[in-house]
Amino acid sequence: MARIFWVEDQSHWIKKFSAVLEAEDFDGGPNSIAIYHFAEAARQKIALTDRESAPDVALLDARMNGNDQAGFSVSNALRKKWPRLPIIYLSEHAGTDIERAALEQFSATDFIAKHQHNVEQVLCWRIRAALRQASIDSDLSATINVITSGELTIDLNTWNVYWKGQRLMNPSNACRPLAPTPRKLLRELVESSPRPLSAGQIAERLDSDAEKFSYASYRQHIKTLRRAFDAVDAGFIGRCTRGVGIVTFGDEGAYCWIPADRVK
């Protein structure tokens, strides 16, 4: 069964494609289609859905109810919750800046013009291709489930963090590993590198309460991480102040991960 998350504000398009999507055999079973007419309702559903209950593919209209950014706002919410989810735009605005933005800025998997010949079959072909690629990527990540950046390795299976081959431990108790929040925070910084992340952005990525996850909390976790690195690599804290490692960014309370090989 393919679980399809579909955001479309015009009923005639829903009528045109629904029967095709319901009948198509994507993986040997009946498909489940959740349809949302408004971007706000779609974003609310995403926020309330567990990470483990991801759809298999998302279909998004780009421009809805007169708003060119409506589809992109849903895409952002989907990417934050499920970074690897295939997102296909089904739009009347192919060949415009909307298509360019979808592909270049919002990491769309595909962009399909609604008014093209044989569009129902094209849509099914593209969904099947996206599902196949997602399956391949999932199998690969299951066998190679680590993040590396320079001499840093984060093992996502065990959640151990290694720097220059040594495991990082809790700087306040060398017999205990790093706490979950600093580890997750480090992962977000590494995956976002070289873009900095503010306290608010980190709170969103960790699904934390933005009011409770303050800049003071962020700064304390950064301090913990720097001390953990410094315990196995004396001088790490000093290098952070010189622009390598976990670096303070600007005056807005943001931080970013800058590995040594990115510094010229």
Question: Which residues touch 103 (CB under 8 Å, ≥6 apart)?
Answer: 111
Within 8 A by CB and 6+ apart from 63, the residues are 70, 71, 91, 92, 93, 98
pLDDT of residue 52: 85
Distance CA(62)–CA(59), nearest Å, equals 10
What CATH code would you report for 146-262? 1.10.10.10
Dump pLDDT digits (tens) for 78-105.
Answer: 988 887 899 999 999 888 889 998 888 8
Q: Which residues of the chain have pLDDT under 50?
A: 263-264
Whole-number pLDDT of residue 264: 46
User: For position 144, what pLDDT does the model report?
Assistant: 59
Query: How far apart (Å, rounded) are the C-alpha atoms in residues 202 and 188?
Result: 7
Please report, for the chain, the start and end positions of each structural domain, with discontinuous segments joined by +.
Answer: 3-143, 146-262
How far out from the chain centre does Cα 9 lie?
A: 25
What is residue 252's predicted lDDT score, i.e. its pLDDT?
A: 67
**What are the tokens at 6?**
């579909």
pLDDT of residue 152: 92
Domain 3-143 has CATH 3.40.50.2300: yes
Instruction: Note the pLDDT of residue 143.
Output: 59
